[in-house]
Structure 1
Amino acid sequence: MKHEWRKHERALYLPKGVQELDVPTMTYLTLRGQGDPNTPTFSAQIQALYPVAYAIRMALKRGEVGDPYEYTVYPLEGVWTTTDGSRDATLNKAALAYTIMLRQPDQVTPGLFHWAVDQTRGKHPSPYLEQLQLTTYTAGPAVQATHVGSFDTEGETFAQMRAYLTAHGLTTVPTMGAYQHREIYLSDFRRVAPEKRKTTLRWRVRKEVL
């Protein structure tokens, strides 16, 4: 049976309202960058991720590593912080630092990852292929909500999430710099109009120490 994240992992990716959850350890293709994402550089980095992900998917589907396994490629994600502390209404996009990522099934090994990069290098050459990493990441307790609309209006959903944190005695746990959040792009922002985009926003959290 084909594993489809929209059907089988709805609680992880498609929250209703503001949701508290425990995010398990997962493996990702990752690529780090810095600066305004509204640039050709950011697009080129994304384009380096997908061919590798699809090479891995086809290898697993054909059973080249263990039993055949078919799945839908996971959505693009980004972990964001700023180098100058700006955020929300004062956000300086030029100071953004990010890691973009695509989740991988548990069957993906370092060997399969390096094979897929080599395959991609010949078919879709990119200078960013050499910067790709296979990374295991544990988020743990988190709060998330789905934002509908432009990235520039995400502050509205973050405000709802902050209200939830206050009501439940929680605080955020940054992992990069002083301000960090994860975005999961449920819509292809290269093709979907800003007002119709769906993005799941997530913070790592812990109980506030009084």
Structure 2
Amino acid sequence: MQAKHEWRKKEKSFYLPKNKPETLTVPKFSFISIQGEGSPASSAFTKKVEALYALAYTIKMMPKKMDKPPQGYFDFTVYPLEGVWDISDKAKANFDGTINKDELVYRLMIRQPDFVDQAFYRDMLELAKQKKANPLFEQLSFEQIEEGKTVQMLHVGPFDDEPQSFEKMEAFAVAEGLERLSKVHREIYLSDPRKVTPDKLKTVLRFQVK
């Protein structure tokens, strides 16, 4: 029997960087995702996360109960929650250097193993709907994203202190002769804020460069 695929052990370069900037080329991966806007402290944000995890765990658990699992199936640890963050067009037009969290725009996502394709995603989504009605299931999507060349680092501490890490990353990019493509960035959440104090939160920060 094939051993369970654990991203913390098998994919350290993508999920467990050091707390100093580095370059990384990220290939195409598959995700289930959902879009949103507004503060991450809102109940709407929490509900979107819950919908994502409900489907992610359906995809993880259901093949074990199937007579014929999907081709290429293997057991795996559910990947961490990720978020791609930007601000609204209105906020950009009036930007004064400060971020109003109510003006944030985001896409939340959870990566999926390679055996998950569009057809299997649709089947699992229907099963998730049967298990527990959730209106947000209709907002979920399946997509492939290739980030390409990036700068990333591990941020340890409160989310509000992330600008300090981004300053280090941008200085590193300049020193390496790289240009940040935009202020859009990715965050990968390695800690559960409900269980970890803010000073110990671990978040992978990443932005695209050329």
Task: Answer whether TM exceeds 0.5 for this pair.
Answer: yes
Match of 1:23 in 2: 26
1:31-83 deviations in Å (ceiling 9; x for gaps): 00001110110000000011111111123445511254111000000000001
Structure 1's unaligned 5+ residue stretches are: none
One-letter amino acid matched to 1:203:
F
1:87 and 1:128 map into 2 onto residues whose CA distance is 31
> Matched residue of 1:65: which SS?
coil
1:57 corresponds, among 57, 60, 79, to 60
Match of 2:171 in 1: 163
CA RMSD of aligned residues (A): 1.7
**Aligned runs of 1:33-182 on 2, under 5 Å?**
33-62=36-65, 64-83=69-88, 84-85=91-92, 90-174=98-182, 179-182=183-186
> Matched residue of 2:108: which SS?
strand
2:95 and 2:8 map into 1 onto residues whose CA distance is 30
Match of 2:199 in 1: 195
1:28 and 1:87 map into 2 onto residues whose CA distance is 31
Q: Is the 8 A contact 2:73 2:115 kept in 1?
A: no
1:170 and 1:87 map into 2 onto residues whose CA distance is 25
1:69–1:88 Cα change, 3 Å: farther
Task: Give me the TM-score of the superposition, normalised by structure 2.
Answer: 0.91
Structure 2's unaligned 5+ residue stretches are: none
> What percent identity do the matched residue pairs reach?
42
Matched, 1:6 2:11: no
**Structure 1 runs, 4 residues or longer, greater than 3 Å off:** 59-63, 86-89
2:72 and 2:87 map into 1 onto residues whose CA distance is 42
> Matched residue of 2:194: which SS?
coil
1:205 corresponds, among 182, 197, 209, to 209
2:5 and 2:117 map into 1 onto residues whose CA distance is 19
